[in-house]
Amino acid sequence: MESADRMLHPSLRAFWPLFYVAWADGDLTGAEIRVIRSVLERRSDLDPQALEVAAAWLDPESPPTASLLLRLREEMVHAATDMPANERRSLASLGGRMAEVAALDADGTAVHRDAVALAVREIMDALGVDEAEVAAAALQEARPTAAAPATAPATVDVAGLRAFLDGEDAAALDRIRGLLDDGVLTRQPGLHTAAYREQVLEWLQLLADRGLGGLAWPTVAGDDADAGAFMATFEGLAAFDMSLVVKYGVQFGLFGGAIFFLGRERHHRELLPRVASLELPGCFAMSEFGHGSNVRDLETTATWDPDRGVFVLHTPSPSARKEWIGNAACHGRMAVVFAQLVVRGHRHGVHALLVPIRGEDGQPCPGVSIRDCGEKMGLHGVDNGRLWFDHVDVPRENLLNRFADVTPDGDYISTIPGAGKRFFTTIGTLVGGRISVARAGLMAARTGLAIAIRYGEQRRQFGAPGEPEMPILDYRMHQRRLMPLLARTVALVHASRTVTRQYIESDESTGRQELEAMAAGLKAMATAHTRETLFTCRECCGGQGYLAENRLADLIADTEVFTTFEGDNTVLWQLVARSRLSDWQRTFQGFDAFGLLRHFAERAGASLASMRPTLAQKNDGETLRDPELALTLLRHREQSLLASVARRMKSRIDDGMEPFHALNDCQDHLVAAGEAWMERLVAERFAEAVAAAGDATVRDTLTSVQALFGLHAVEQRAGWLLENGFIDGARARAVRTEVNTLCAEVRAIAPGIVDAFALPAVALDAPIACSNFIARAGGEG
């Protein structure tokens, strides 16, 4: 590179900004050099010496020095000092000022500026950069410090929306909110595992002292017993601490619930008050190391000893040890143990017995071995343990005998003659637990979304040249990531309320197969959604989301196991699908093989025929937002998947395949069918609730949320819907466009929606969820 004085040739002043921009961000390519050189050589006002200097500027073997580029920038900044802001954003205007063309007459100025502008644009196109952006970068102008206006918030009736979301559980949820806001329960960050477990036990005692342990049991709560209030308490506590939630659920939901549902009045009277007060800490010992979700094939045995009139409880192999038993490692003194009942050499299936596991001194009872499961990914305040039984005597009276008993003479009797029905009745205690886990997961999802949305409103990043940085929640992809999750959360919260009501109002006489399928589907759908939501919220908060103080890390770690406890989600989806297939089997009991196949073919054809009118509809916003369009597509998908998996399984069984192997061969199809049924059910009930919402403002808010939930579900299933002819390419593209529009709409009401979640302050005890968190952080030091 030649001397600076020679390089700063006055005839090239108009192009100094271009030279600076061309070299400031990296090396020029050969193609870029040829384009710039061609443009300059066509300039009639450049003499040979100027062109020679220009060639030196474009020599890749001798790029300009840093000091020369710095001098260029100083000249540019000086020239731009008095220029209006809009002209400083144009390299053409900046070049014109550099050439001091303002001294020319009006006509000369206009011609020269136009020529420079054309030359600059041609070169900018060749370099592939934005003229305004590089001008701002070249001048190194600071962005305006004034905050860019965020998306204008839309009106949300927070109180009305809160009432819709809380439903009939409002009073119970408000009770827990008040408890948490009053500081009755307070966190102590940084506790080691042993201290944390003791802290959780203290919290549990505080809840028991306030009567929150026996909420669901008439023996304790009298006429005020309310299973819904218990589930609402479980949900509300999830805004505070998940270890407490799980411990609360183990003690009062699983241990106490098993006594309530499987025991008789004597068990209720003698034990439930002690369970409710936490005088008798207990466990629910169902899962085994080698069997997990396969409860029917548990190995632990309870064998009737007719000579002594006791059951002998035994762990016959290493795979039979009781695993992941909450409350077992430290605090539990009695366990409801599920074991194979053996009487006179005959197995009668899985039954539940009350078994003391610790004495008053905290030491294991004779024949009982207890081990800690060890450190976990999360839920460090829950003392999960393992149990082994070595020929432990259990009194006959300790059998929870509501549905089956063994007489003093050793006769097995049961009010339910069928072994299969008796088994499912025995494990029916899990139904309420699955609904509760779904509700706790959804509380965690709401907490994560509230943190991420509040952070996204305040955190600013990038922006148009010369303008303030923009809130990240105003970026389409940020909206795309969070708003569908927000809509799905609202829909699932409503679904959890309706399934809870159905559970409370059901009894054995009404049949509970569909309810059990709904509880399983809700748990699987809600906990998978919670997992996706929390991980996405963490990512949307960047490095701040990774900090422990901002709660997302703990929420992720504590809820990760929700997808596998109270039933592994993949197993639950198969349970849902098999329940639906049982309905099909009852419906088509009289069909022969040909008639069944003909029905499937006719049904598939009818589904496609019924879709043709909707395919012919316009793809405008009004049509796409009609709830019936998404519901119709989800219904057809559900029916088609169920019919096709039934057809596939029947074909395999007819060919001689064992039913178990036929199920396994179609397992992925079964899971998809189960998911489709639950997704349709959630969408259908949410649409009905939105349509019935009495307050117009609340209904308007929910209409946008419901439309986003439905259309995003369609978008997620677009591949299958296209493959099976239920939508065409034009509709798929229109749905994608409308989802973008709805994400922007819901973004405007998102702050109001998370306010309507009515999360207690302790749930939002994350610096990034506070207003002006950036200014507050800046004041620390």
pLDDT digits (tens, 9 = 90+) for 732-764: 999 999 999 999 999 999 999 999 999 999 999
CA distance 761 to 763: 5
Closest CA to 249 of 273, 223, 282: 282
- Please name the helix (run of DSSP H) or strand (run of DSSP E) that holds residue 472, with its range, or none: none
Mean pLDDT over 151-174 rounds to: 90
Of residues 416 and 716, more confidence is placed in 716
Q: Is the pLDDT of residue 421 over 90?
A: no
- Render pLDDT for 76-90 as a digit per residue (tens, 0 to 9): 777 777 777 766 667
pLDDT at 105: 38
Of residues 379 and 423, more confidence is placed in 379
C-alpha 334: how far from its chain's center? 35
For residue 693, the SS3 value is coil
pLDDT at 187: 87
C-alpha 384: how far from its chain's center? 25
For residue 390, the SS3 value is coil
Closest CA to 580 of 441, 674, 455: 674
Q: Which pairing describes strands 301-305 and 334-343: parallel, antiparallel, or unpaired?
A: parallel
**DSSP labels, 212-246:** -SSTT-HHHHGGG--HHHHHHHHHHHTTT-HHHHH
For residue 130, the SS3 value is coil
pLDDT at 598: 53
Q: Say if residues 642 and 722 touch (Cβ distance below 8 Å).
A: no
Mean pLDDT across the chain, nearest whole number?
86
Give the number of C-alpha atoms closer than 13 A to the C-alpha of residue 733, restricted to the C-beta side: 4
Return the structure tokens found at 395. Answer: 């009194």
pLDDT band, residue 106 (cuts 50/70/90): very low
- Render pLDDT for 469-501 as a digit per residue (tens, 0 to 9): 889 999 999 999 999 999 999 999 999 999 999
Q: Is the pLDDT of residue 321 over 60?
A: yes
Report residue 414: phi and psi, to 5°: -155, 140
CA distance from start to end of the chain:
48
C-alpha 780: how far from its chain's center? 33
Return the structure tokens found at 702. Answer: 């929910």
Q: Is the pLDDT of residue 595 over 60?
A: no
- Render pLDDT for 195-234 as a digit per residue (tens, 0 to 9): 999 999 999 999 999 999 999 888 887 877 888 999 999 9
Of residues 104 and 278, more confidence is placed in 278
Mean pLDDT over 29-43 rounds to: 77
pLDDT at 467: 75
For residue 780, the SS3 value is coil
Of residues 570 and 141, more confidence is placed in 570
Sheet holding 385-389, edge to edge: 322-325, 385-389, 368-372
- Render pLDDT for 112-135 as a digit per residue (tens, 0 to 9): 556 666 676 777 776 666 666 666
- Render pLDDT for 330-373 as a digit per residue (tens, 0 to 9): 999 999 999 999 999 999 999 999 999 999 899 999 999 999 99
pLDDT at 626: 95
CA distance 91 to 3: 25
Residue 587 burial by Cβ neighbours in a 10 Å radius (0-12, 13-18, 19+): exposed
CA distance 483 to 707: 12
pLDDT at 597: 47
Mean pLDDT over 50-68 rounds to: 81
List, as own/partner pairs, every contact residues 5-10 make where C-beta atoms lie below 8 angstroms and the sequence separation is at least 24, other chains included.
6/53, 7/53, 7/56, 7/57, 7/64, 7/68, 8/71, 8/72, 8/75, 9/49, 9/50, 9/53, 9/54
Closest CA to 451 of 46, 759, 94, 91: 759
Q: Tokens 């955190």 appear where?
A: 459
Residues of the chain above pLDDT 70, percent: 85
Q: Say if residues 281 and 251 touch (Cβ distance below 8 Å).
A: yes
What single letter denotes the amino acid at residue 107? D
Residues of the chain above pLDDT 90, percent: 60
CA distance 264 to 728: 59
Return the structure tokens found at 127. Answer: 């370099």
Return the structure tokens found at 152. Answer: 């204008």
Q: Which pairing describes strands 368-372 and 385-389: parallel, antiparallel, or unpaired?
A: antiparallel
Closest CA to 594 of 643, 656, 659, 651: 651
Angle ∠(613,619,621) on CA atoms, nearest 5: 125
Taking every pair of Cα atoms in the chain, the longest distance, rounded to a whole number of angstroms, is 122
Report residue 687: phi and psi, to 5°: -60, -40
- Please name the helix (run of DSSP H) or strand (run of DSSP E) that holds residue 81, with its range, or none: none
Q: Is the pLDDT of residue 260 over 70?
A: yes
CA distance 323 to 342: 22
CA distance 227 to 229: 5
Angle ∠(434,435,439) on CA atoms, nearest 5: 115
Mean pLDDT over 756-779 rounds to: 83
Of residues 162 and 601, more confidence is placed in 162
Report residue 225: phi and psi, to 5°: -60, 135
Q: Which residues contact 620 (CB under 8 A, 6 or more apart)?
A: none
Of residues 299 and 8, more confidence is placed in 299
CA distance 383 to 389: 19
Q: Is the pLDDT of residue 589 over 70?
A: no
pLDDT at 101: 45
CA distance 517 to 524: 11
pLDDT band, residue 107 (cuts 50/70/90): very low
Across the strands, what pairs with 288?
322
CA distance 329 to 197: 10
Mean pLDDT over 53-59 rounds to: 80
Return the structure tokens found at 744. Answer: 């922007």
Other beta carbons within 10 angstroms of residue 108's beta carbon come to: 11
Other beta carbons within 10 angstroms of residue 553's beta carbon come to: 16
Most confidently modeled range among 35-39, 464-468, 516-520, 774-778: 516-520
Q: Is the pLDDT of residue 151 over 80?
A: no
| 156-170, 344-358, 584-598, 666-680, range with the lowest pLDDT | 584-598
pLDDT band, residue 111 (cuts 50/70/90): very low
Q: What are the percentages of helix, strand and coil residues in the chain, rounded to 5?
A: 65, 10, 25
Q: Which residues contact 774 (CB under 8 A, 6 or more apart)?
A: 458, 459
Q: How far from 240 is each of 237, 440, 447, 458, 771, CA to CA, in Å?
A: 5, 11, 10, 24, 20
pTM of the model: 0.84
Q: Say if residues 559 and 531 touch (Cβ distance below 8 Å).
A: yes
- Render pLDDT for 641-662 as a digit per residue (tens, 0 to 9): 999 998 898 899 989 999 889 8
Other beta carbons within 10 angstroms of residue 768's beta carbon come to: 24
Closest CA to 555 of 446, 439, 448: 448
Q: Say if residues 202 and 188 touch (Cβ distance below 8 Å).
A: no
pLDDT band, residue 614 (cuts 50/70/90): low
Closest CA to 430 of 350, 348, 356, 342: 350
CA distance 583 to 730: 36
Strands (E), 345-459: 346-356, 368-372, 385-389, 392-395, 404-406, 412-414
pLDDT at 726: 95
Q: Is the pLDDT of residue 774 over 80?
A: no
Q: Which pairing describes strands 310-314 and 392-395: parallel, antiparallel, or unpaired?
A: antiparallel
Mean pLDDT over 432-461 rounds to: 95
Q: Say if residues 370 and 357 touch (Cβ distance below 8 Å).
A: yes
Closest CA to 218 of 208, 209, 230: 230
Residues 758/764/769/770 CA torsion (nearest 10 deg): 90
Q: Is the pLDDT of residue 692 over 60?
A: yes
pLDDT at 95: 73
pLDDT at 437: 96
